[in-house]
């Protein structure tokens, strides 16, 4: 039996089974091959962004419009009645009358779940604080499968701010479905959180911690780079000293496997030098493009049209 996503909330990657993830990737592949311009005609998406975004907000918007639907919403909550003191739950209770599905990004961990709890229409988490970014993980997995021709048993390194970067939390958790071997490279105090490491240990996923890319570059199939999430740092935190150790240069790729691909959820600040873009390893713009197809698949599935 096919997994059923109709009217479901998408809050965390752990909400899915492996079978469900593979089904979404399969539908994404079909949508990438064949456009569905009228699939969501008459449906309305509410894009509620309480935090900045380029890719996630605009790709959801594009996904809905490319399938014939329409979009309402805001990209700056200060232009809404939140500025007057309206609560998240009251805001969601209003929006459920105006739209068929809500996409929410919020700086607080748990806000997407809170929105889902008080809304009668489906809610998709587009990033809640440092917690989760499940649709990013689905597009990451789709891209990994596409560029490696498989998902199982890959060696994946994650480098950068692994503490505050929600994309690496969701991706590390998804790795347990596919028996990935994980390598974590981060500045001191920005390591992968203990609870995620404990979860990986319980699921028997192998991982190790490293100081530099050079230690593992010959072993990996995917290098997943993230920026330092300075907007989430405590004010006293010093990062200027360590920042330069986490800037990827093309010279560091001399010993890379030919199949290595470099991914990044973007935005890039300065953690990948521009000269890397011209190597065959750079794959982050293709990755971002896949966000459109994954989000089309999710909207179609949740609204019961696929």
Question: Catalytic amino acids?
Answer: 55-56, 84, 105, 133
3-state secondary structure of 128: strand
**Interface with ligand CP, residue 165, by CB under 6 A:** no
Min dist CB 165 to ligand CP, Å, is 10
Say which DSSP state 1 is in. Answer: -
Count of residues binding ligand CP (CB under 6 A)? Answer: 9
Choose which of 129, 165, 265, 300 interacts with ligand CP (CB under 6 A): 265
Among 28, 47, 53, 137, binds ligand CP (CB under 6 A): 53
Rounded least distance, CB 53 to ligand CP, Å: 3
Q: Is 76 one of the binding residues for ligand CP (CB under 6 A)? A: no
Contact 142, 25 (CB under 8 A): yes
Residue 144 structure tokens: 């990994």
- Write the CA distances from 60 to 42, 73, 119, 123, 131, integer angstroms: 16, 11, 19, 13, 20
Number of residues that this document lists for the chain: 306
Window of 2-10, 53-61, 251-259, 270-278 that interacts with ligand CP by CB under 6 A: 53-61
Minimum distance, C-beta of residue 150 to ligand CP, in the bound complex (Å): 24
**Closest approach of ligand CP to the CB of residue 266, in Å:** 5
- What are the E-state strand segments in the chain? 44-49, 70-74, 101-106, 123-128, 155-159, 181-185, 207-210, 222-225, 261-263
Rounded to a whole number of angstroms, the minimum distance from the CB of residue 128 to ligand CP is 12
Question: By CB under 6 A, is residue 25 in contact with ligand CP?
Answer: no
- Is the peptide bond between 267 and the residue preceding it cis, with omega within 30 degrees of 0? yes
Minimum distance from CB of 105 to ligand CP (Å)?
7
Query: Is residue 47 involved in binding ligand CP (CB under 6 A)?
Result: no
Region from 52-60, 85-93, 220-228, 270-278 binding ligand CP, contact rule CB under 6 A: 52-60
Note whether 266 binds ligand CP by CB under 6 A: yes
Helix H or strand E encompassing 43: none
The reply on whether position 286 binds ligand CP by CB under 6 A is no
- Tell me, residue by residue from 114 to 143, as one string, x for binding to ligand CP by CB under 6 A and - for no binding: -------------x--------x-------
Structure tokens at 181: 């071997």
Nearer to ligand CP, 66 or 133 (CB): 133
Residue choice 8, 43, 55, 227 for contact with ligand CP (CB under 6 A)? 55
Site membership for ligand CP, residue 186 (CB under 6 A): no
Q: Is 226 in the site for ligand CP (CB under 6 A)?
A: no
Of 47, 56, 186, 290, the one binding ligand CP by CB under 6 A: 56
Query: How far is Cα 264 from Cα 25, in angstroms, rounded to an integer?
Result: 19
Compute CA distances 181 → 22, 149, 176, 207, whole Å: 19, 17, 9, 6
Strand boundaries in 171-269, DSSP class E: 181-185, 207-210, 222-225, 261-263
Distance CA 114, CA 72 (A): 21
Identify which of 65, 36, 64, 61 has the alpha carbon closest to the alpha carbon of residue 49: 61
Q: Which is nearer to ligand CP, 217 or 222 (CB)?
A: 222
User: Measuring CA to CA, how many Å separate 251 from each of 186, 196, 217, 279?
Assistant: 20, 32, 12, 10
- Which of 11/205 has CB closer to ligand CP? 11
Residues that bind ligand CP (CB under 6 A): 53-56, 127, 136, 265-267
């Amino acid at each position: 039996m096919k997994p059923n996503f109709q009217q479901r909330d998408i809050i965390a990657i752990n909400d899915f089974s492996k079978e469900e993830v593979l089904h979404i990737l399969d539908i994404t592949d079909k949508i990438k091959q064949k456009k569905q311009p009228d699939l969501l005609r008459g449906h309305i998406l509410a894009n509620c962004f309480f935090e900045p975004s380029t890719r996630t907000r605009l790709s959801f918007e594009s996904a809905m419009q490319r399938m014939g639907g329409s979009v309402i919403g805001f990209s700056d909550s200060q232009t809404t009645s939140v500025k007057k003191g309206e609560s998240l739950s009251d805001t969601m209770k209003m929006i459920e009358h105006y739209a068929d599905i809500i996409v929410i990004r919020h700086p607080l961990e748990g806000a997407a779940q809170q929105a889902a709890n008080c809304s009668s229409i489906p809610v998709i988490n587009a990033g809640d604080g440092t917690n989760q970014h499940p649709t990013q993980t689905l597009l990451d997995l789709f891209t990994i499968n596409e560029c490696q021709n498989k998902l199982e048993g890959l060696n994946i390194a994650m480098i950068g701010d692994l503490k505050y970067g929600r994309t690496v939390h969701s991706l590390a958790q998804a790795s347990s479905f596919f028996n990935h071997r994980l390598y974590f490279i981060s500045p001191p105090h920005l390591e992968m959180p203990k609870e995620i490491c404990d979860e990986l240990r319980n699921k028997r996923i192998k991982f190790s911690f490293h100081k530099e890319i050079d230690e593992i570059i010959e072993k990996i199939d995917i290098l997943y780079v993230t920026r330092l999430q300075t907007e989430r740092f405590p004010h006293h935190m010093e990062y200027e000293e360590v920042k330069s150790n986490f800037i990827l240069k093309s010279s560091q790729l001399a010993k890379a496997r030919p199949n290595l691909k470099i991914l990044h959820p973007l935005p890039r600040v300065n953690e990948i030098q521009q000269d890397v873009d011209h190597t065959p390893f750079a794959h982050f713009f293709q990755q971002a493009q896949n966000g459109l197809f994954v989000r089309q698949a999710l909207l179609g599935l949740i609204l019961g049209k696929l």
